[in-house]
Amino acid sequence: MSQVSFDIGRVELADLQEYPARFANRLERAKATRGYALCHCRTDFPRKLVIRRYGSLFFLAAWLDDCVHHADGCDFQKKPGTDTPAGPDSLAAIIAGPNGLNVRLDVSLVQKETASGSQTRDIGSSTRASRRSAPMLAYLQALWTSGGLTFWHGTPKLRSWGSVNAMLHSGMGEAATINGSPAHDILHVMRRFEQEERFAINSEFAAFKRRIANDAGVSRRALILGEIATVADTQFGKKITLRQHPQQYFASMTLVDQAAKKYRHAWRAIGKPTARVVALLLVERMGEKHLRIVDLAAMLCSSVFLPCDSIHEVAMANRLVAEHRRFEKPIRMADGDEMLADFVLLDTRPATHVEIYGMNGLASYEQRKAEKQALRRAQGIPAIEWNVDRERLNQVVLPSPVRRARHRGERVKLNSSGCATASAAPASEQFGLASLC
C-alpha cells in the first residue's frame, strides 16, 4: 500500500481512505497552499496527486495522464484504457473524460404531475435526446471501474467501506454529471460509520436528504449507494437498510421480487459472511420523514468489495486475496471482448486467466466454454479452470506468482513461502472476512 504526503511527513494511503475526517484540515491547507499531494509508490520520483474536495472531506486522485507512471501495486496506477469504461463514443450512455464520468441513466430523477396524471421525465436535463442511456447496474459497474475497485494489488491490508468510499470519489472526478446535473447533487455515497464522526456523518446525510423533495407536484429524486444490511417485511411491503446508516428505505413487494430475480446471485448472498452486496438506490420522498425506493441495482462483491458474478466467484476472489495475489476482475462495459475471463492473475508472466465453470451441462454454456478455450489456446493465453462440480476450491492449483521489482523492472520469482498452498483451510473458514465495516 502506498504512502502519500501533503504537508510534513508521510501517511499511509489506507489510513487516509479509512479515516478521511482526521486529515481534512491538513488536506484543506495543502490544497490552498501547495495545491497538490505526493504519492511515494516510487522511490525514484514521487508522483503528484490531485486534492479533491467533496463536502467536508478531501480525497486524492492521480492525474489522468499520469496513472500509468505509478508503481505496480499502487492504488493510483491504471493501465492504458482502464479509465474509459465506455470508450470514446460521444453518444454513449457513460463517458469517462478528464473531468469525470458523464452519465445518462435510464431513470427519471425529476418528475412532475400533469393535469392528466401523467409524468414528464427529467425536467431541465441538458442531455441530448439522441444519446443512449444506461441501466443503474451499468453505472454501478462504471463507478467500480473508474475507482480502480476491480483490481487487487496483493496487499495484506483488507479493503473496507472507508477505502471504497474514497476510491469511488477519486474515480468519479470533480465535474462528474448524472443526466446533466452535478453528480454530487444527485448521488450520495454512504460514509463508513465512525463513532467520533457520527454528528458530521448524520448532518451531511440529512443535508443530502433535504434535496429529495416532493412538493407542488414535483418529485425530486436522488441516488444512494451503500452496502445492503437487511431486507425485512413491513405491513405494506419491504424495508431495506444499508450497513453504513440506520435509515430505512421502503419498497413495494413487486419491486423487491423483481430485484430478487434480476440480481438473483447478489440477492441470495445478502447476509452471507463471506460476501458483500452493494446497492444503488433510486429514492423519493414518502411523507415527511420516510424514503421510498423507486428502483435499485444490486451488485455481488467479495469480502473486499471486488465485483463478482456468482457466489463461486466470491469464493475464488476471497482465496486470491487471502493468498496475496495480484489480479483483476474484468467487467464487460461494451460488446466485443470474446474472451472476458472471470479473473486475470497479473502476477504471472504472461497473465493467467481464471475461469469458473458453474453451469455445466447447459448446451449453450458448454459451446461458449469450448469457444473461449479454443481462442485461448490459439493465442497462447494460460488459463486455470475450476469446475465447481468436480473439485473443491482448495484443490485448484494456481501458478506460482512472480514479482516485478518495483522500480528497476527485474522479475523475481517468489519462493514457496510467498504464496499460501492450495491445501489450506476451506474457503468458508480461511476466506471469510465478515467483521469488516
**289 shares its domain with 315:** no
8-state DSSP, 185: H
**279 shares its domain with 386:** no
**317 shares its domain with 297:** no
For residue 113, the model assigns a pLDDT of: 72
Rg (CA), the chain: 22
Q: Specify the DSSP element, H or E, that contains 232.
A: strand 222-233
Smallest Cα–Cα separation from 184: which of 18, 17, 28, 55? Answer: 55
For residue 338, the model assigns a pLDDT of: 65
Q: What is the pLDDT of residues 321-366, one digit of tens each?
A: 999 999 999 997 655 566 789 999 999 999 999 999 987 778 888 8
**295 shares its domain with 315:** no
Q: Is 151 helix (H, G, I), strand (E, B) or coil?
A: strand
**The domain that contains 342 carries what CATH number?**
3.40.1350
Measured over the CA atoms of residue 204, residue 205, residue 208 and residue 210, the dihedral's sign is: negative
Average pLDDT, the chain: 85
Q: Is 263 helix (H, G, I), strand (E, B) or coil?
A: coil
In the chain, what percentage of residues exceed pLDDT 70? 84
d(C-alpha 397, C-alpha 402), whole Å? 16
In the chain, what percentage of residues exceed pLDDT 90? 59
For residue 143, the model assigns a pLDDT of: 96
8-state DSSP, 65: G
Domain enclosing residue 318, as ranges: 311-430
Q: Is residue 128's pLDDT more than 80?
A: no
Q: What is the pLDDT of residues 214-254, one digit of tens each?
A: 887 788 999 999 999 999 999 999 999 999 999 999 999 99
Residue 88 within a domain: no
**350 shares its domain with 413:** yes
The model carries a pTM of 0.85
For residue 235, the model assigns a pLDDT of: 92
**How many CB atoms are located within 10 Å of the residue 8 CB?**
6
Q: Is residue 14's pLDDT more than 90?
A: no
Reported in sequence order, the residue ranges of 252-307 that DSSP labels E, i.e. its strands, are: 276-286, 290-301
For residue 5, the model assigns a pLDDT of: 93
Which pLDDT band, with edges at 50, 70 and 90, does 411 fall under?
very low
- Do 39 and 17 meet the contact criterion of CB atoms below 8 Å apart? no
Q: What is the pLDDT of residues 158-197, one digit of tens each?
A: 999 999 999 999 888 888 999 999 999 999 999 998 888 8
d(C-alpha 311, C-alpha 268), whole Å? 9
Q: What is the pLDDT of residues 264-314, one digit of tens each?
A: 999 999 999 999 999 999 999 988 789 999 999 999 999 999 999 999 999
Q: Considering 255, 272, 301, which residue would you say is the last residue of a domain?
A: 301
**214 shares its domain with 363:** no
Please count the structural domains in the chain. Answer: 3
Sort strands 222-233 and 187-189 into parallel, antiparallel or unpaired: parallel
Residue 74 within a domain: no
Residue 84 within a domain: no
Mean local confidence (pLDDT), 46-59:
88
